[in-house]
């Protein structure tokens, strides 16, 4: 039994006494306690693959910040790794794939793995987190969306345009479809593994949705998201497609519980497009949290009023930046918890 199930009730569209709040990337470098464990782990990948340490940093934001949910500490890139494409995390630079997948021939190296084996450290961490949380708040599991993983696997690293990934959609559609299908199959198995281990809801991050046009997103990406939503029936699913305002209606048509919004989306416009039957999550500009406390409180209140008191999960419009002051983060969380909606 959960003592605080506000987020789950909000996701399911049940009444809540107040708006629940968590932050994307809350388990990370904003906390000095995270940086200490990260140092102890030696490397990012070691932290991700050591269940005791991953569990510890998962729980830190619940204890230190008072958020209404924990999110499993991991990374979206563990899925390509399990499929046969290991990543490296260059200090201060981000992730990189020493090898890439760009052709039918390359696809021979990529398989749909037995996730329980290849990603065994994930359910192990989930079980430790659930024990330690002891019902205080729900645990959110996650995966990268197939398109975002496709971007990294073909490009090999971050990119502003992901033009290698986009090119393959038009230049070699048979390859692109085959790779997307394999990623989607693995993602479904991986999310089901997390659910079986005990996560209470899941979020799918389509961080690079915004590099595609509306038609291509609808025809090439949405079918995979639909398969994921239809497969995960046990817990609420949140779809977060960043910079993809053009796809908001398509996403809202899928059987997901919650639609995540980046900060560029107008909450009132999104509510109109999405309709009344989905929960919205977001969407304060993370940069607001660099401001003084009064500004943070004012902007947060403005956002809360725009969404209204029900069917909303407060969050930022993207992950919290590593150098945002913890005091700013606290001010955001406390403002949500104390907000009185204008009747």
Contact flag: residue 263 with ligand CP3 (CB under 6 A): no
Q: Which residues are catalytic?
A: 25, 29, 38, 75, 152
Nearest alpha-carbon partner for 30 in 73, 58, 61: 61
Pick 271 or 284: Cβ nearer ligand CP3: 284
**Part in contact with ligand CP3 (CB under 6 A); list of ranges 74-82, 164-172, 292-300, 306-314:** 74-82
| Residue 88 or 104 with smaller CB distance to ligand CP3 | 88
Return the range that interacts with ligand CP3 (CB under 6 A); candidates 4-12, 27-35, 125-133, 263-271. 27-35
275 is an interface residue for ligand CP3 by CB under 6 A: no
Residue 139 as a binder of ligand CP3 (CB under 6 A): the answer is no
Pick one of 51, 80, 95, 156: the residue that binds ligand CP3 (CB under 6 A).
Answer: 95
CA–CA distance, 174 with 179 (Å, rounded to integer): 9
Is 59 a residue that touches ligand CP3 (CB under 6 A)? Answer: no
**Residue 76 engages ligand CP3 in binding (rule: CB under 6 A):** yes
Of the pair 90, 327, the CB lying nearest ligand CP3 is at 90
Question: Judged by CB under 6 A, which stretch of 72-80, 160-168, 194-202, 261-269 contacts ligand CP3?
Answer: 72-80
Spatial separation of the C-alpha atoms in residues 260 and 251, rounded to whole Å? 10
Residue 89 or 231 with smaller CB distance to ligand CP3 = 89
3-class SS string, 35-104: HHHHHHHCCHHHHHHCHHHHHHHHHHHHHHHCCCCEECCCCCCHHHHHCCCCCEEECCCEEECCCCCCCH
Q: Which is nearer to ligand CP3, 138 or 339 (CB)?
A: 138
Structure tokens at 99: 């090898």
For residue 296, what are its two tokens? 């943070």
Q: From the list 16, 19, 28, 50, which residue makes contact with ligand CP3 (rule: CB under 6 A)?
A: 28
Angle at the Cα of 120 from the Cα atoms of 118 and 122, rounded to 5 degrees = 115
Contact window for ligand CP3 (CB under 6 A) among 26-34, 209-217, 261-269, 304-312: 26-34
Q: How far is the CB of 144 from ligand CP3 (least distance, A)?
A: 6
Told to check if 18 binds ligand CP3 by CB under 6 A, we report no
Query: Could you say which residues in the range 218-237 bind ligand CP3, by CB under 6 A?
Result: none
Integer Cα distance of 237 and 269 in angstroms: 22
Indicate whether 199 belongs to the interface with ligand CP3 (CB under 6 A).
Answer: no
Alpha helix segments (H runs only) across the chain: 6-12, 32-41, 44-49, 51-65, 78-82, 104-107, 115-118, 121-133, 146-155, 163-171, 173-197, 214-216, 222-231, 248-252, 267-274, 293-307, 326-338
Cα distance between residue 138 and residue 149, in whole Å: 26
CB 53 within 8 A of CB 74: no
User: CA angle, corner 265, sides to 180 and 139, nearest 5?
Assistant: 60
As beta bridge partners, residue 284 has: 316
Q: Can you tell me which of 2, 33, 44, 112 binds ligand CP3, judged by CB under 6 A?
A: 44
49 belongs to the binding site for ligand CP3 (CB under 6 A): no
**d(Cα 63, Cα 84) in Å, to the nearest integer?**
36
24/82 with CB nearer ligand CP3: 24
Select from 229, 203, 236 the least CA-distant residue to 319: 203
71 makes contact with ligand CP3 (CB under 6 A): yes
26 is an interface residue for ligand CP3 by CB under 6 A: yes
CA-to-CA distance for 137 and 62, rounded, in angstroms? 8
- Binding region for ligand CP3 (CB under 6 A): 24-29, 38, 44, 71, 73, 75-77, 94-95, 142, 158, 205, 207, 319
């Amino acid at each position: 039994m959960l003592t605080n199930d506000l987020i789950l009730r909000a996701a399911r569209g049940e009444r809540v006494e107040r708006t629940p709040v968590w932050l994307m990337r809350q388990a990370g470098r904003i906390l000095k306690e995270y940086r200490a464990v990260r140092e102890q782990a030696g490397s990012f990948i070691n932290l991700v693959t050591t269940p005791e340490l991953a569990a510890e940093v998962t729980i830190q934001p619940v204890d230190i910040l008072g958020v209404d949910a924990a999110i499993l500490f991991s990374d979206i890139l563990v899925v390509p790794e399990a499929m046969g494409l290991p990543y490296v995390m260059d200090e201060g630079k981000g992730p990189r794939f020493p090898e890439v997948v760009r052709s039918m021939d390359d696809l021979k190296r990529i398989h749909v793995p037995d996730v329980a084996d290849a990603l065994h450290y994930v359910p192990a961490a989930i079980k430790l987190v659930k024990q330690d949380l002891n019902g205080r708040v729900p645990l959110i599991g996650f995966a990268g969306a197939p398109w975002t993983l496709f971007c990294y696997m073909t490009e090999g690293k971050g990119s502003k345009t992901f033009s290698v990934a986009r090119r393959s959609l038009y230049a070699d559609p048979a390859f692109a479809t085959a790779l997307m299908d394999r990623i989607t199959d693995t993602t479904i198995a991986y999310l089901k593994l997390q659910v079986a281990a005990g996560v209470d809801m899941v979020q799918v991050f389509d961080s690079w949705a915004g590099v595609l046009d509306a038609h291509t997103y609808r025809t090439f990406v949405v079918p995979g998201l639909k398969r994921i939503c239809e497969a995960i029936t046990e817990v609420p699913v949140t779809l977060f497609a960043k910079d993809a305002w053009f796809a908001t209606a398509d996403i809202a048509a899928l059987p997901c519980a919650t639609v995540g919004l980046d900060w560029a989306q107008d909450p009132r416009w999104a509510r109109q497009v999405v309709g009344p039957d989905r929960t919205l999550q977001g969407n304060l500009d993370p940069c607001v949290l660099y401001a003084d406390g009064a500004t943070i409180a004012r902007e947060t209140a403005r956002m809360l009023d725009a969404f209204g008191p029900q069917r909303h999960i407060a969050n930022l419009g993207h992950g919290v930046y590593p150098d945002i002051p913890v005091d700013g983060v606290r001010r955001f969380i406390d403002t949500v918890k104390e907000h009185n909606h204008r009747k």
